[in-house]
């Protein structure tokens, strides 16, 4: 019984910004404009929603905690540009043709799930501002070096950390650093949509295949002469790890791969992403099963 209560506390807990002027300044400096539809995920008592409404936006807010939901609902009871749902955003179905933006101080416990739902959606936000742990922000922005997560986001989104908070900005004061992450849809996609899934498979195959060196990762995809040409063009050291490449280098590799391989020769790459994620799921299930047996 105590165990489930602890899980509830972790899931619903959230560090909230106390300074309303700081929230208003960040909203005013964002790309959100009057008339925009904006999602506030984990709205709490409504501080961010209030700043968005002052900006002239329409707001759809989500709050799972019944007490905070009622507090927020009471605060905006006469506001016609505000909708509030006592609901879990992770099971919310984003309308397929709805244009929207996001500005949220999301529950850190669900950062990965919320980011994946938003940025991998068939209808992603036009612009997205998420208050997250600094470590998570760096992972998605690819700072100081690109991660698998940042490599998969960047063909579609421009991603950056645009503000670093002080820990004292929050109550309760967190034990970690917190930042504001922005992910804005690129006006011109760096890859046509029809190639994105193959790009994902290509990056995962090269980066997550336990090859040791980049040369070993790429030898199944390129001839020796092609590797030499790519080394000069993209300034790549093939003795290094596949994890050392940045986004533009991976994009260059993939574009060269497309130019050299007609559709029927891409079978060795296709499906690599699905195989990788199935392994990840199986590892989690195995880990949970082992923990269960140990109790």
Tell me, yes or no, whether 58 and 170 share the same domain.
yes
Looking at the structure, tell me whether residues 239 and 179 fall in a common domain.
Answer: no
Q: What is the 3-state secondary structure (H, E, C) of 21-62?
A: HHHHHHHHHCCCCCCCEEEEECCCCCHHHHHHHHCCCEEEEE
Which of 185, 203, 226 is the C-terminal boundary of a domain? Answer: 185
- Looking at the structure, do residues 119 and 53 belong to the same domain, yes or no? yes
pTM of the complete model: 0.88
- Round to whole Å and give the CA distance between 226 and 287: 42
Q: Which of 185, 211, 233 is the last residue of a domain?
A: 185
Q: Quick one: pLDDT at residue 9?
A: 43
Do 199 and 162 have their domain in common?
A: no
Q: Which domain holds residue 212?
A: 193-286
Number of domains in the chain: 2
Residues 203 and 141 in one domain: no
Query: What does the pLDDT look like over 258-272, one tens digit per residue?
Result: 888 766 556 678 888
End position of a domain, from candidates 143, 160, 185:
185
- C-beta separation of 184 from 33 below 8 A: no
Residue 90: give its domain's CATH number: 3.40.50.150
Per-residue pLDDT at 7: 45
| Whether residue 149 sits in one domain with residue 166 | yes
Ranges of residues in the chain with a pLDDT under 50 are 1-12, 287
In this structure, the answer to whether residues 173 and 67 fall within a common structural domain is: yes
Looking at the structure, tell me whether residues 178 and 242 fall in a common domain: no
For residues 72 and 105, membership in a common domain is answered with yes
Q: Confirm whether 295 is domain-assigned.
A: no
pLDDT given for residue 109 in this prediction: 92
């Amino acid at each position: 019984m105590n165990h489930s209560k602890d899980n509830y506390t972790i899931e619903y807990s959230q560090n909230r910004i106390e300074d309303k002027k700081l929230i208003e300044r960040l909203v005013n400096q964002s790309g959100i404009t009057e008339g925009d539809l904006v999602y506030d995920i984990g709205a709490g008592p409504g501080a961010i929603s209030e700043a968005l409404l002052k900006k002239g936006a329409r707001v759809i807010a989500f709050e799972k905690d019944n007490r905070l939901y009622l507090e927020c609902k009471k605060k905006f009871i006469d506001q016609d540009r505000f909708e509030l749902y006592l609901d879990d955003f992770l099971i919310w179905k984003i309308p397929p043709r709805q244009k929207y933006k996001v500005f949220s101080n999301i529950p850190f416990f669900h950062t990965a799930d919320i980011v994946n739902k938003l940025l991998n959606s068939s209808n992603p936000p036009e612009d997205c501002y998420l208050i997250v742990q600094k470590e998570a922000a760096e992972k998605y922005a690819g700072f100081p070096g690109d991660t698998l997560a940042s490599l998969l986001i960047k063909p579609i989104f421009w991603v950056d950390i645009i503000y670093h908070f002080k820990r004292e900005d929050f109550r309760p004061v967190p034990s970690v650093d917190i930042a504001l992450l922005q992910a804005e849809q690129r006006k011109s996609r760096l890859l046509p949509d029809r190639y994105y899934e193959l790009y994902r498979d290509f990056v995962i195959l090269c980066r997550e295949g336990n090859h040791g060196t980049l040369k070993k990762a790429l030898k199944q995809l390129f001839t020796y002469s092609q590797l030499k040409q790519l080394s000069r063009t993209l300034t790549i050291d093939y003795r290094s790890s596949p994890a050392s490449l940045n986004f533009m280098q991976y994009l260059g590799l993939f574009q060269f791969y497309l130019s050299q391989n007609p559709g029927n020769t891409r079978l060795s790459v296709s499906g690599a992403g699905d195989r990788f994620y199935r392994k990840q799921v199986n590892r989690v299930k195995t880990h949970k099963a082992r923990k269960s047996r140990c109790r």
